[in-house]
Structure 1
Amino acid sequence: MKVLAVEDNKEIASSIHDFLAREGYICELAYSFDEAQERLLLFSYDCILLDLMLPDGNGLELLKFIKTQKIQSGVLIISAKDALDEKISGLEGGADDYITKPFHLPELHARLRAIYRRKKLAGSNIISFNEITLNTDTLEATVNSAALDITRKEFDLLLYLVVNKNRVLSRQSIATHLWGDYTDNLANFDFVYQHIKNLRKKISAANGADYIDTVYGLGYKFNSSKV
């Protein structure tokens, strides 16, 4: 999962970042309304942690921007405010959930996972396509019911491809989604090719079909029409 935490309190932002990083997620930080808006225009995220009180704007206005731009990220509002009207405004404005400061990081994590399941995985932790099955709770992948020996990054890559099946994903978008926004400035994305190559090899060794098409000059596509 790739998360953008919009939080002006750098101590809280750092705690969220470090916790989610330990859980294996990519977590990017934005400390202001303008910085968050710029990142949302440039990059994609599975979930957004949105503080309502920002030094240069209101989080509810950023939520309106997210909906106006048709950004498909899940939104979890985080705020020190515990007023009912703030919760209602956020939820009616399109947020998926609301958590009040101070909160426990494991609870934040659980709420993020719940949003991700609802938004991206049809409410389930099990994603299946033909002979391929992915368990997002245990991070286990199987092909023809046999366990696939893959790394965490390979698991995340396969999940990203399956969730976005039949869509062309550029090497750049794959890199930023799985390794972070900093990769946007890299000269090449050969490491993406290497991970795709390894994943194909392991699936093939388990007698799985090669659903991953190379779209020359663009990137890759998980082709569901293959049999």
Structure 2
Amino acid sequence: MKILVIEDEPDLLDTIQKSLEKEKYLVETAATYFSALEKVGVYDYDCILLDITLPDGNGLAILEELKKQQKAEGVIIISAKNSLDDKVAGLELGADDYLAKPFHLAELHARVKSVLRRRKFAGSNLVVLDNVQIDPDKHQVWVSGVELVLNRKEFDILLYLVTNKQRLVTKTALAEHVWGDHIDEADSFEFIYSQIKNLRKKLRDYQAEIEIQAIYGIGYKLVSA
């Protein structure tokens, strides 16, 4: 799962990023209004943690931009401003939750998981597709009740394709979602081909009832086998 943290306090931003990365999330950050606006305009995220009080703009305007672009990111407002007006305005603009500073990291993690379950998995702790069952929190996969061991990137690829089942996912979108900002440093998609090849073989070996179709020159689609 890919998360964007928009926060201008350096220490808090670093603390949130490290704590989420320990939970196996892919985390990107933005410390200003304009850098955040650029990122949400270019990339897609599963969840955004949004401080509405930024040095160069109002975070609520970022919510307005997400709404204008009809983007589906889950948004949790994290702000020292705990007024009812701010909370209502944020929720009316499409935010999923509001967390006032200071907060415990355990509560933040619980809120993130709750938003992801509602947004991506219809409120369930498990994702089930044909005979494949995925636990996003524990990073575990089972095929017909037998655990399928995947490395970190194989798991991330599978989960992203499952949450976009029957949709064509471009190589660029897949790379950006699983590898984040570092994708800009790559000069080819060879690393994706390798992970996809291994993942497809494992799914076949375990007789999974789903398969990853390659759409030549474009990307991939997850379909029932």
- Sort the TM-score into its range (normalised by shorter chain): over 0.9
Match of 2:199?
Answer: 199
Ranges of 4+ aligned residues in structure 1 off by more than 6 Å: none
Match of 1:36?
Answer: 36
Using the TM superposition, name which of 39-48 and 177-186 deviates more: 177-186
Shift of 1:140: 1.4
Q: Superposed, which structure 2 residues align to 1:54-73 within 5 Å?
A: 54-73=54-73
Aligned length: 225
Local SS of the residue matching 1:95: coil
Q: Deviations over 1:191-225 (max 9, x none)?
A: 1111111111111111224510001111111024x
The amino acid of 2:133's aligned partner reads T
**TM-score, structure 2 as length reference:** 0.96
Match of 2:95?
Answer: 95
Rounded Cα–Cα distance in structure 1 between residues aligned with 2:66 and 2:95? 10
Match of 1:11?
Answer: 11
Q: Deviations over 1:24-66 (max 9, x none)?
A: 1111011111111111111110011110101111011111111
Rounded Cα–Cα distance in structure 1 between residues aligned with 2:109 and 2:59? 20
**TM-score, structure 1 as length reference:** 0.95
Shift of 1:10: 1.2
The amino acid of 2:49's aligned partner reads L
Shift of 1:152: 2.6
The Cα RMSD (Å) is 1.2
Local SS of the residue matching 2:128: strand
Rounded Cα–Cα distance in structure 2 between residues aligned with 1:50 and 1:210? 36
Match of 1:137?
Answer: 137
Q: Does the 8 Å CA contact 2:74/2:96 hold for their aligned counterparts?
A: yes
Local SS of the residue matching 1:161: helix
Rounded Cα–Cα distance in structure 2 between residues aligned with 1:18 and 1:137? 17
Q: Does the 8 Å CA contact 1:171/1:189 hold for their aligned counterparts?
A: yes
Rounded Cα–Cα distance in structure 2 between residues aligned with 1:209 and 1:90? 41
Using the TM superposition, name which of 175-184 and 55-64 deviates more: 175-184
Match of 1:74?
Answer: 74
The amino acid of 1:144's aligned partner reads S
Shift of 1:91: 1.0
The amino acid of 2:70's aligned partner reads K
Match of 1:160?
Answer: 160
Q: Does the 8 Å CA contact 2:82/2:100 hold for their aligned counterparts?
A: yes
Rounded Cα–Cα distance in structure 1 between residues aligned with 2:208 and 2:58? 49
Q: Deviations over 1:63-108 (max 9, x none)?
A: 1111111111000000001111111111112100000111111111
Q: Does the 8 Å CA contact 1:214/1:221 hold for their aligned counterparts?
A: yes
Rounded Cα–Cα distance in structure 1 between residues aligned with 2:23 and 2:179? 14
Rounded Cα–Cα distance in structure 1 between residues aligned with 2:130 and 2:66? 34
Match of 1:52?
Answer: 52
Uncovered stretches (5+) of structure 2, i.e. residues with no partner: none
Local SS of the residue matching 2:48: strand
Q: Does the 8 Å CA contact 1:76/1:97 hold for their aligned counterparts?
A: yes
Q: Does the 8 Å CA contact 1:200/1:210 hold for their aligned counterparts?
A: no
Using the TM superposition, name which of 7-16 and 204-213 deviates more: 204-213
Uncovered stretches (5+) of structure 1, i.e. residues with no partner: none
